[in-house]
C-alpha cells in the first residue's frame, strides 16, 4: 500500500481510503467487517463528514458505536472528517466549526481528528474566523491537520491570507469518467472543444505546485451519483474492455485498475472509496500501486471518451 504523509502527523496515510458515507443503515457486524476488510487490505485512513447519514453525525455515530476503537487501534489509523455544509447553506463561521468538531468527536468516540476538511466553499467565508477556529482546535489537540474539499486555487489562497496552519488536502470529485480537472489540461487551449474548458482554475497544477494532496471522491461513479461505470456496457463498453484487459495483465479486478488510474498519477492522490462491500474494498486496495504504463493510462483515458488531441 502506497502512503501519503501529512506535515503534522507521524502516521503515513494510505493512498486508498475508506469513505463511510453509506453506512448509516448497516448493522454493527457489517460495519466491523467492512472496517476489518479495510485494515486487512492495508487501508489505515477513514473518511467521514458531519452530514453523512439521515441526520447530522449519523454515520460517524454508527462507526463509533460499531468499531469501538481501542487506544492502540486509534493510534494506528487516520480519521478524517468534514464541516461546513448545513441544510441549504454553507457555514465556515468559527462557532459552527468549533461546535461541529466537538459533536464529531463525541459521535466517533475519539479525542481528536487527524484531518479536518472544509467541505464545500462558503462564499461568505471570513478567513480570520477560520484561522481562529483552526488555531483553537489545534491548540486544544482536537485536530491535527487541516484541509479543504471542492475548493479552487483562488479559494484556497483566500483562506491562506489568514490561516497559518498548512492546508494539506483538497477532496474533489474524480474518476476516469469524471475528470475535468485532468482532462482540461490535456486539451488546453482547444477552441470549440468542451473538454478544454477549465472548470476549476487549474486545480491539478496548483495542487502539485503547493504539495497539496488531492483526494478523489466518487472514484467509480460515472458522474454525480448516477451509478458506476464498471460493468456499464451500454455506455462504457470500450472502457470496460480496456479495464478487463489490464485487470488480466496485472492480476487484479477492473475495480483495482480504476483505482490505479488515479493512484498512478504523479500528483500523489488518494482514492476515497464509498463501497460497503468488503470484497470491493480488497479489490480497490489492490490498485494502490499498480505501475500502469503511460500508454495504458492514456488508453483508459481515451476509452472513457476523452480526447487526446
Ligand X SMILES: NC(=O)c1ccc[n+]([C@@H]2O[C@H](COP(=O)([O-])OP(=O)(O)OC[C@H]3O[C@@H](n4cnc5c(N)ncnc54)[C@H](OP(=O)(O)O)[C@@H]3O)[C@@H](O)[C@H]2O)c1
Q: Give the alpha-carbon dihedral of 294, 242, 18, 200, to 10 degrees.
A: 60
Only one residue has cell 463498453, namely 237
What is the C-alpha to C-alpha distance for residues 148 and 114, in angstroms, rounded to an integer? 14
Buried b (16+ CB within 10 A) or exposed e, 40-53: ebbbbbbbbbbbbb
Say which of 52, 112, 250, 298 is annotated catalytic.
Answer: 52
Q: Is position 148 an interface residue for ligand X (rule: CB under 6 A)?
A: no
The residue whose Cβ lies closest to ligand X is 274
Which of 218, 240, 263, 288 contacts ligand X by CB under 6 A?
A: 218
Look at strands 45-47 and 85-86 and give their pairing: unpaired
Q: Is position 78 an interface residue for ligand X (rule: CB under 6 A)?
A: no
Q: Is position 22 an interface residue for ligand X (rule: CB under 6 A)?
A: yes
Binding mask 164-193 for ligand X (x = CB under 6 A): -------x----------------------
What is the Cα 307 distance to its own chain's centre?
25
| Alpha-carbon distances, residue 52 vs 20, 22, 119 (angstroms) | 8, 7, 12
Active site includes 52? yes
Which of 43, 66, 131, 272 contacts ligand X by CB under 6 A?
A: 272
- In this structure, what C-alpha cell is assigned to residue 181? 480537472
Q: Is position 228 an interface residue for ligand X (rule: CB under 6 A)?
A: yes
Q: Which stretch binds ligand X (CB under 6 A): 8-16, 219-227, 236-244, 298-306?
A: 219-227
Q: Least distance (Å) from ligand X to the CB of residue 186?
A: 22
- Which of positions 229-248 make contact with ligand X (CB under 6 A)? 230-231
Q: Which long-range contacts (CB under 8 A, 24 or more apart) does 196-201 make?
A: 200/152, 200/153, 200/172, 201/152, 201/153, 201/154
Q: Is position 86 an interface residue for ligand X (rule: CB under 6 A)?
A: no
Q: What angle do CA 140, 81, 4 make, to 5 degrees?
A: 95
Q: Which stretch binds ligand X (CB under 6 A): 160-168, 203-211, 267-275, 291-299?
A: 267-275
What is the Cα 34 distance to its own chain's centre?
18
Which of 3, 6, 15, 19 contacts ligand X by CB under 6 A?
A: 19
Size of the residue set binding ligand X (CB under 6 A) = 24
Q: Is position 221 an interface residue for ligand X (rule: CB under 6 A)?
A: yes
Which residues participate in catalysis according to the annotation?
52
Residues of the shown chain interacting with ligand X in the complex, contacts defined by CB under 6 A: 19-22, 47, 149-150, 171, 217-221, 228, 230-231, 255, 272-277, 280
Amino acid at each position: 500500500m502506497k502512503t501519503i504523509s501529512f506535515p503534522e502527523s507521524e502516521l503515513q496515510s494510505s493512498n486508498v481510503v475508506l469513505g463511510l458515507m453509506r453506512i448509516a443503515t448497516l448493522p454493527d457486524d457489517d460495519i466491523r467487517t467492512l472496517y476489518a476488510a479495510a485494515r486487512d487490505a492495508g487501508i489505515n485512513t477513514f473518511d467521514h463528514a458531519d452530514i453523512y447519514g439521515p441526520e447530522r453525525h449519523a454515520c460517524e455515530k454508527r462507526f463509533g458505536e460499531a468499531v469501538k476503537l481501542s487506544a492502540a487501534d486509534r493510534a494506528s489509523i487516520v480519521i478524517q472528517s468534514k464541516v461546513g455544509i448545513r441544510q441549504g447553506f454553507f457555514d465556515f463561521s468559527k462557532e459552527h466549526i468549533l461546535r461541529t468538531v466537538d459533536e464529531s468527536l463525541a459521535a466517533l468516540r475519539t479525542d481528536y481528528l487527524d484531518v479536518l476538511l472544509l467541505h464545500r466553499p462558503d462564499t461568505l467565508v471570513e478567513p480570520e474566523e477560520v484561522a481562529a477556529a483552526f488555531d483553537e482546535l489545534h491548540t486544544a489537540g482536537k485536530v491535527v491537520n487541516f484541509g479543504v474539499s471542492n475548493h479552487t486555487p483562488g479559494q484556497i489562497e483566500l483562506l491562506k491570507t489568514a490561516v497559518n496552519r498548512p492546508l494539506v488536502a483538497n477532496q474533489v470529485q474524480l474518476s476516469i469518467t469524471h475528470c475535468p480537472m485532468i482532462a482540461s489540461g490535456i486539451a488546453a487551449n482547444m477552441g470549440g472543444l468542451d473538454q478544454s474548458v477549465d472548470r476549476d482554475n487549474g486545480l491539478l497544477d496548483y495542487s502539485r505546485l503547493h504539495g497539496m494532496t488531492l483526494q478523489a471522491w466518487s472514484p467509480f461513479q460515472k458522474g454525480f451519483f448516477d451509478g458506476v461505470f464498471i460493468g456499464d456496457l451500454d455506455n462504457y463498453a470500450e472502457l470496460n474492455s480496456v479495464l478487463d484487459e489490464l485487470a488480466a495483465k496485472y492480476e487484479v479486478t477492473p475495480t483495482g485498475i480504476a483505482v490505479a488510474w488515479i493512484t498512478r498519477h504523479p500528483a500523489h492522490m488518494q482514492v476515497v472509496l464509498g463501497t460497503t462491500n468488503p470484497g470491493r474494498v480488497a479489490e480497490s486496495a489492490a490498485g494502490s500501486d499498480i505501475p500502469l504504463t503511460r500508454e495504458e493510462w492514456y488508453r483508459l483515458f481515451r476509452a472513457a471518451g476523452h480526447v487526446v488531441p
